[in-house]
Structure 1
């Protein structure tokens, strides 16, 4: 797992809008505010919805502040065998995304 900042994530999305950017917060949290370009796959449903994610490609994971997304990244590496160079935890999460005034919905 690699850690990246919200600004780095925004740069990645600007260069590749189709990047796998997953928000692991619960649906009601996601509905309040979320980074533009994310897909909601809640941590509580993650194992059941793993088929929606290509673990062979780069995967960027965000949550509220970085804790849940870090646990999901660890799960991907340990239980699913995802390569650490393809798994990215977005530090500061949605809180930092909003504070940095990055595109959101």
Structure 2
């Protein structure tokens, strides 16, 4: 399984390619701007939202759930990278996070 640190990820231009697998209430507290929330509990119902034709970066709180999802997707041919340390590592690295409810999706 390929992994990346929050600092390495922040240096890339990957807007819209970060999938946060934390639950909705967790994401409401803190998230990376532009990340897409597909909770692990709903992942199988929403797997079609994961693009096959580009690299996606899977994120959770500290890296456990994202590692499980990354392994699952990798075994099915997706180009995926686990974010070691998750959103907690992202914040500890001093990288920008958003707090509070996310803005509604444009198609909502």
TM-score bracket for the superposition, by shorter chain length: 0.7 to 0.9
> Runs ≥4 in structure 1, deviation > 6 angstroms?
none
Q: 2: CA distance between counterparts of 1:60 and 1:9?
A: 8
Please, what is the CA RMSD of the aligned residues?
A: 1.2
Q: 1: CA distance between counterparts of 2:95 and 2:55?
A: 21
C-alpha deviation, 1:103, in angstroms: 1.4
Aligned residues between the structures = 98
Q: Which one of the candidate residues 13, 28, 41 is aligned to 1:31? A: 28
2:56 alignment partner in structure 1: 59
Q: Identify the structure with the greater helix proportion.
A: 1
Q: 1: CA distance between counterparts of 2:26 and 2:9?
A: 20
Could you state the TM-score of these two structures normalised by the residue count of structure 2?
A: 0.84
Q: Which 5+ residue runs of structure 1 have no aligned equivalent?
A: none
Q: Which 5+ residue runs of structure 2 have no aligned equivalent?
A: 99-108
CA contact (8 A) 2:15 2:35 kept: no
1:42 alignment partner in structure 2: 39
1:75 equivalent in alignment to 2:72:
yes
Structure 2 counterpart SS, 1:69: helix
C-alpha deviation, 1:37, in angstroms: 2.2
